[in-house]
Amino acid sequence: MTSIVIPAHNEARVIGRLLDSLLAEPAQPAQPSGSSESAGDETDIVVVCNGCTDDTARIAAERGPRVRVVEIPVPSKHAALRAGDEHARGFPRLYVDADVVIGESDVRALTAPLDDGTSGILATAPERRIPLAGCAWRVRAYYQVWQRLPAVREGLFGRGVIAVSRAGHGRIATLPPLMADDLAASLAFAPEERLVVGAARVVVHPPRTWPDLLRRRVRAAVSTAQVERQQRPPEASARTGKADLLNVLRREPRLFLGVVVFVAAAVIARRKAEKAVRAQDFGTWLRDESSRQN
């Protein structure tokens, strides 16, 4: 049985669209005894409402018996993930952010490489689709460059979805509470142990305005610094270097303005993040509300 854990803190505006997408296709029945897939293909969905003060729990519960709702009082994603693990029933296991959109067929594509235990793949993630219509031009320019960076294309982070086998779960279950939990999870696996599945897609809603983008990049800068302090080996990183940007320009000179915007966002975010990093303030979330607009 595949389990999906969805941590949700005040996600009433978006939890419905994710669950509707997951439930749009009928659940696959459990395989009969003796079949080639002994664990069955049914999907177990657990929404962990952590410290919610809105209608997240009610909206999730209204989606019917395939969705189980767990409520905890503390507004902590890390605590929500651990609570989800306590209630989830099977493997492979997916951790899905409430503000993305992914379907049941994509879930099956993600779990396929994890099922047989012989591929050596411990963790998977889907390809991103980032709808940029309606975003400010600088946001569009930024993401045109960001999506082409090697670490972004190859890492499991920044997708809002990660699937792990039982063995892969053992790798990430002991990670400390970190803002960039998806980056830490991605870096916990060697390149040959993780896979971006081309047959799976997730819709990741971007920030819509330049200030919203900067807020998200400040959070990313702070959380990356935290991961680099905690994670070993120390050379494991997802930072973008000058060579990466130069390679983008060599391949596509038309993206020159996008590279300028990307560098400007990185410099501003790094400067704004320095104060929080010096103070070791890794708890201020700087949530982007614009990506949660319907």
Cα dist. 73→51, 57, 103, 176, 178 in Å? Answer: 5, 12, 29, 20, 19
Helix (H) or strand (E) holding 268: helix 256-278
Tell me what percent of the residues of the chain surpass a pLDDT of 70.
82
**Highest mean predicted confidence (pLDDT) among 20-34, 36-50, 158-172, 276-290:** 158-172
Q: Does position 6 have pLDDT exceeding 50, yes or no? A: yes
CB atoms under 10 Å from CB of 279, counted, come to 9
Q: Does position 123 have pLDDT exceeding 50, yes or no? A: yes
100-101 and 93-96 strand pairing = unpaired
Q: Give pLDDT, residue 33.
A: 38
Q: Which of 177-181, 233-237, 280-284 has the lowest mean pLDDT?
A: 233-237
Which tens digits make up the pLDDT trace of 89-118?
Answer: 899 999 999 999 999 999 999 999 997 667
Of the CA atoms within 13 Å of residue 12, those in its CB half-sphere come to 10
Q: Is 262 exposed, middle or buried (0-12, 13-18, 19+ CB in 10 A)?
A: buried
Cα 283 to Cα 271: distance, rounded to the nearest angstrom = 18
End-to-end CA distance of the chain: 32
Of 49 and 278, which is predicted with more confidence?
A: 49
Beta bridge partners of 129: 203
Q: Does position 222 have pLDDT exceeding 60, yes or no? A: yes
CB atoms under 10 Å from CB of 250, counted, come to 8
Helix, strand, coil percentages in the chain from 3-state DSSP, rounded to 5: 45, 15, 40
Identify whether the C-beta of residue 167 lies closer than 8 Å to the C-beta of residue 273: no
